[in-house]
Amino acid sequence: MGIVNVTPDSFSDGGCWATPDAAVEHALQLVREGADILDVGGESTRPGADPVPPDEEMARVVPVITRLAALTEVPVSVDTRRPEVAERAIAAGAWIVNCVAPFTELPGMAEAVKAGGAGVVVMHARGTPQTMAGLTGYADVAGEVAEALEASVAFAVDRGIGREAVVVDPGIGFAKDTNENCTLLARMDRLTSIAPVLIGASRKRFIGAVCGETDAALRDGGSVGVAVWAALHGAAVVRVHAVRESVQALKMIERITRG
């Protein structure tokens, strides 16, 4: 899953692809590099980010999704926490809603996904981007995250979304500190028993903490390492900035494990 941030303030590439033309060209480049899914987002969810009004978020993502749906057969995902944005994005051609907020707290999101016949990624999170940094702390992070994701899957199925259309995301970096993020990655087995798993760790702060790198744009080596680990331990999708490097690493791992 290649990341297409149509935002001025995302933590590593804010402003790089903030116009529709730039975002579309970047997305098509990611396809050329091997992306299987394009994840288009119009609101930064980094800790402390300012919220974006729904109309502005839609104005950022809908033109990009509309054009990508016409230009490529690669499925497009919309990265959002707002049902109204999801609804418009699906109408514009998005196949997947990557829900970056607690799914069970958003009944309107389930309705939008079901009505549009889309797939959905349900992510574990606490609070909002403005409050989540103060909401870390778990007695058993793998167990608590798994239980919350199980509840999200049940919530989706109860509202008519097919289980086969649901992917789970443990929410790396969302109300988790460095140790909690690493523990979740070490306990992938607890997650893969629930549903297909998406891991979105690319360039995040915990990689900088472990690797001693303050510049998010220089964390691709650590990010590829996490993507490879996740794939080897059962992840179905890895969400990345550096598509070319990640695809090459994963191709080599796949070839070596085949013998």
Q: Which sequence positions are flagged as catalytic?
A: 204, 239
Residue 52's region, left for phi above 0, alpha for psi from -120 to 50, else beta, is beta
The candidate with the shortest Cα–Cα distance to 41, out of 23, 68, 66, is 23
Measured distance CA(156)–CA(42) in Å, rounded: 24
Total residue count of the chain as it appears in this document: 259
Helix (H) or strand (E) holding 92: helix 83-92
**Which residues lie below 8 Å from residue 162, measured CB to CB, with a gap of 6+?**
none
Could you tell me if 93 and 76 are in contact, meaning their C-beta atoms sit under 8 angstroms apart? yes
Measured distance CA(17)–CA(235) in Å, rounded: 28
Could you tell me if 231 and 253 are in contact, meaning their C-beta atoms sit under 8 angstroms apart? yes
Measured distance CA(45)–CA(25) in Å, rounded: 23
Measured distance CA(95)–CA(100) in Å, rounded: 16
Angle at 229 between CA 145 and CA 127, to 5 degrees: 25
Rounded to 10 degrees, what is the CA torsion of 154, 160, 163, 167? -80
